[in-house]
């Protein structure tokens, strides 16, 4: 373990256990997702100064006007994406600190994750490598148009709010695949997009609060 975080290493198993109990009471039922949440050390993805809050149900700043999502949202989006099935290839738009990608690595065969902000990309790539998560491929790119060379994906997850649904991203979804993302500007909702042989089905879920999706590399 990174010595920087060793101080709370002793309690992380217990505090992580409490997080899992809380996720259950919040309605997360997928045991595979709960096991993934339990295996990922969330404290390793945030600044040492915030380590004591690592397993609280809050989003925390990670610099560059970005945040690490609250554990409930990460678990909820992963549970919707999985839908009780083993995932093959998944795309995440907005790597941030890499925490969501780390959770996805435990429930999918391959994870492609795209980050537009160079320092966040470099930090996430190193952290995921240090955790020996070899089925995650981190790219420094503008994720607004997805990732054509990895498509089609069984699942697509977006960690930032788009003003509208991108037709390009929809096309990168495999038939039978699911996409989970926040949509909206002032008011945001989580949406589930399902690709069927005959077309797409959109379902609006609960209200959420995410940082906005931005274009271009930074």
Q: Please give the positions annotated as active site.
A: 69
Q: Among 72, 11, 74, 73, which Cα is nearest to 43's?
A: 11
Report in angstroms the alpha-carbon separations of 170 from 146, 150, 167, 196.
Answer: 9, 14, 5, 11
């Amino acid at each position: 373990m990174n010595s920087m975080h060793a101080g709370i290493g002793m309690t992380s198993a217990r505090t992580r256990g409490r997080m899992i109990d809380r996720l259950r009471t919040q309605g997360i039922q997928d045991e595979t997702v709960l096991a993934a949440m339990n295996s990922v050390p969330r404290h390793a993805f945030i600044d040492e100064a915030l380590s004591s809050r690592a397993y609280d149900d809050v989003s925390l700043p990670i610099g560059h006007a970005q945040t690490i999502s609250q554990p409930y949202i990460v678990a909820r989006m992963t549970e919707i994406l999985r839908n009780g099935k083993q995932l093959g290839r998944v795309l995440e738009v907005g790597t941030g600190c890499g925490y969501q990608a780390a959770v996805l690595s435990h429930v999918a065969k391959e994870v492609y994750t795209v980050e537009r902000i160079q320092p966040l990309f470099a930090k996430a790539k190193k952290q995921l490598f240090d955790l020996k998560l070899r089925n995650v491929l981190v790219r420094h790119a503008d994720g607004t148009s997805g990732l054509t060379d990895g498509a089609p994906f069984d699942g697509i997850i977006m960690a930032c709010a788009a003003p509208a649904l991108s037709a390009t991203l929809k096309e990168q979804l495999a038939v039978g695949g699911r996409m989970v993302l926040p949509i909206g500007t002032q008011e945001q909702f989580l949406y589930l997009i399902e690709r069927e042989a005959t077309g797409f089905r959109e379902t609006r879920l609960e209200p959420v609060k995410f940082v906005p999706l931005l274009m271009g590399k930074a």
